[in-house]
């Protein structure tokens, strides 16, 4: 088979996983999947190595899922993998980092022979336990833990598992529906793959995978040479669970890869902000790839040169049964942490620090009068602050980096439960000043509807420790959480919004880049006209 034919099939595989992901988006029940794209999808060879992944998806899902399929093969056992099977888990250490993410893996057979796998991941709205939030002291409190097991065996659904899920989550219709959506999305990929193999008269993926891995490995190592070999370090302070923690990295770059060691990072926390090492690995890898090879396809070979280590007991190396429910809050900072380490070596590439972690809010809405017969609701919404200013461009306003997820629309959020979003607007003066301005955060005001109050799970950061500017740029403005009567809220933990009160979220801005005195006067005037600065 010649290289051109290989490339055509590679492009086809990318199209297949894109259709796989879109099937999940179209059929999902949770707004986090269908509105925000908090998912991943990919195709793997018979050894469990990722050949191609959909563009739709977060680094935390895609890069952890790339390692997860090997765990499925090992735990199920090669002798128990049958045609018509599908496997499932939400194990934080063998999947994607916390119980709210379910991963489904489906083996692909051709002419009775196993030739590969499809896998996908999605965040579900509820897994029982305390609900989505950082308050648990152990993973046992955080919800239902499903080890790697069979979701479908030889075409027969595991109804016992469905029944267990149904009776252990608050929004069983949405959650069970999403599990079926995950399996359906893999089925779509499998059908398209088998049709492609028929078209190109291929029996398996082995030859194509070898081509993909060989080209990608060489291209990745070539781009890595833009970063001089050596050792790079950085430290960052973030809020933790209402108590500032330190993140530290020593990045060692050689001609064959880059290794991040997180020695010096604060120890694990007694609450659910801890991060499994695989999740920290995912965002370290993403940092290096976006800096050095932003157009590089994500597959086994592009991820392989990047490795990590951390001491046991470090907040970036949580071990069972550490609580990890909101591992994204600290985990998302790993990208800025690692980019900061190489900022001096790549001054024209690395941006200032940004808001980093998503400002997710999870609402458990309850009727104020239990006798009224009104239903309970679980509502989840993703929001983002501003990104750091870039060496040649201002930061992006209210944009998720590094996660890349979209914000759920106001209309979609209000449709799923008793909540009103009164305003959602950019936050003036929140981007750090600089030659290039940091991206703006936003202000969101919301309340329960009449007859309801809600418990509100705060999982926010950059309230005590704003995003730092770079090369003389100013820091971004810190975030804030309060009621409309001025009552302040902690940035982490479960708190009550009474009926009739409004909650106000002030999301942080990104840091500025360069001396503010060097900013183009035209850009200053434009900022004033648009209300970005006062």
Using one digit for the tens of pLDDT, what is the confidence trace for 351-400? 999 999 999 988 899 999 989 889 999 988 999 999 999 999 999 999 99
The residue among 394, 313, 395, 323 whose CA lies nearest residue 355 is 395
Q: Which of 88-102, 406-420, 456-470 has the least mean pLDDT? A: 406-420
The DSSP element (H or E) to which 506 belongs, if any, is strand 503-506
CA distance 143 to 130: 7
DSSP 8-state symbol, 79: G
CA distance 284 to 292: 13
- Residue 534 burial (C-beta neighbours within 10 Å; 0-12, 13-18, 19+): exposed
Say whether pLDDT at 451 is over 90.
yes
Average pLDDT, the chain: 95
Say whether pLDDT at 287 is over 90.
yes
CA distance 98 to 143: 10
pLDDT one-digit tens code per residue, 305-334: 999 999 999 999 999 999 999 999 999 999
pLDDT one-digit tens code per residue, 204-243: 999 999 999 999 999 999 999 999 999 999 999 999 998 9
Of the pLDDT bands very low, low, confident and very high (cuts 50, 70, 90), residue 2 is: confident
CA distance 189 to 41: 9
Say whether pLDDT at 36 is over 90.
no
Of the pLDDT bands very low, low, confident and very high (cuts 50, 70, 90), residue 501 is: very high
CA distance 427 to 436: 17
Say whether pLDDT at 3 is over 90.
no
Contact status, residue 149 vs residue 89, Cβ threshold 8 Å: yes
- Residue 475 burial (C-beta neighbours within 10 Å; 0-12, 13-18, 19+): buried
Q: From the CB of residue 198, how many other CB atoms can be counted at a distance below 10 Å?
A: 10
Say whether pLDDT at 1 is over 70.
no
Name the token pair of 330. Answer: 């600290």
- Longest Cα–Cα distance of the chain, Å, equals 72
């Amino acid at each position: 088979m010649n290289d051109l034919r290989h490339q055509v099939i590679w492009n086809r595989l990318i199209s297949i996983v894109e259709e796989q992901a879109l099937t999940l988006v179209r059929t999902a029940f949770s707004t986090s999947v269908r509105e925000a794209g908090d998912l991943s999808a990919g195709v793997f060879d018979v050894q469990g190595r990722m050949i191609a992944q959909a563009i739709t998806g977060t680094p935390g899902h895609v890069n952890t899922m790339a390692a997860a399929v090997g765990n499925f093969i090992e735990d199920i056992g090669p002798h128990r993998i049958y045609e018509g099977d599908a496997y499932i888990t939400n194990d934080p250490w063998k999947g994607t980092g916390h119980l709210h993410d379910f991963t489904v893996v489906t083996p692909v057979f051709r002419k009775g022979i196993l030739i590969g796998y499809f896998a996908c991941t999605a965040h579900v709205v509820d897994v029982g336990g305390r609900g989505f939030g950082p308050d648990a002291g152990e993973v046992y409190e955080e919800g239902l833990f499903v080890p790697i097991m069979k979701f479908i065996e030889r075409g027969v659904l595991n109804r016992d598992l469905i029944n267990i899920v149904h009776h252990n989550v608050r929004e069983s219709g949405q959650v069970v529906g999403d599990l079926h959506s995950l399996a359906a999305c893999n089925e779509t990929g499998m059908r398209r793959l088998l049709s492609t193999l028929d078209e190109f008269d291929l029996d398996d993926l082995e030859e194509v995978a070898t081509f993909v891995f060989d080209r990608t490995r060489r291209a990745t190592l070539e781009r890595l040479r833009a970063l001089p070999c050596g050792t790079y370090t950085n430290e960052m302070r973030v809020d933790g669970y209402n108590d500032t923690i330190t993140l530290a990295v020593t990045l060692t770059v050689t001609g064959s890869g880059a290794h991040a060691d997180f020695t010096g990072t604060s120890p694990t926390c007694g609450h659910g902000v801890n991060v499994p090492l695989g999740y920290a690995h995912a965002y370290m890898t993403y940092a290096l790839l976006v800096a050095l090879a932003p157009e590089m396809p994500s597959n086994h070979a592009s991820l392989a040169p990047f490795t990590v280590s951390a001491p046991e007991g470090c907040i970036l190396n949580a071990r069972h049964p550490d609580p990890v429910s909101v591992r994204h809050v600290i985990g998302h900072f790993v990208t800025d942490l690692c980019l900061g380490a190489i900022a001096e070596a790549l001054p024209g590439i690395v941006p200032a620090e940004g808001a980093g972690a998503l400002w997710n809010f999870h609402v458990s809405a309850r009727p104020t009068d239990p006798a009224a017969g009104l239903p309970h609701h679980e509502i989840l919404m993703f929001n983002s602050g501003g990104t750091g200013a870039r060496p040649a461009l201002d930061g992006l306003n209210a944009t998720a980096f590094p996660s890349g997820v979209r914000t759920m629309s106001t209309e979609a959020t209000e449709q799923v439960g008793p909540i009103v979003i009164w305003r959602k607007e950019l936050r003036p003066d929140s981007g750090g000043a600089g030659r290039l301005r940091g991206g703006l955060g936003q202000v969101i005001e919301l309340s329960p509807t009449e007859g309801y109050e809600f418990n509100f799970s705060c999982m926010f950061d950059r309230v005590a420790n704003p995003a730092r500017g770079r090369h003389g740029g100013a820091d971004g403005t810190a975030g804030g959480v309060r009621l409309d009567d001025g009552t302040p809220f902690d940035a982490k933990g479960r708190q009550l919004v009474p009926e009739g009160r409004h909650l106000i979220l002030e999301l942080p801005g990104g840091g500025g880049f360069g001396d503010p005195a060097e900013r183009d006067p035209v850009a200053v005037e434009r900022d004033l006209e648009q209300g970005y600065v006062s």
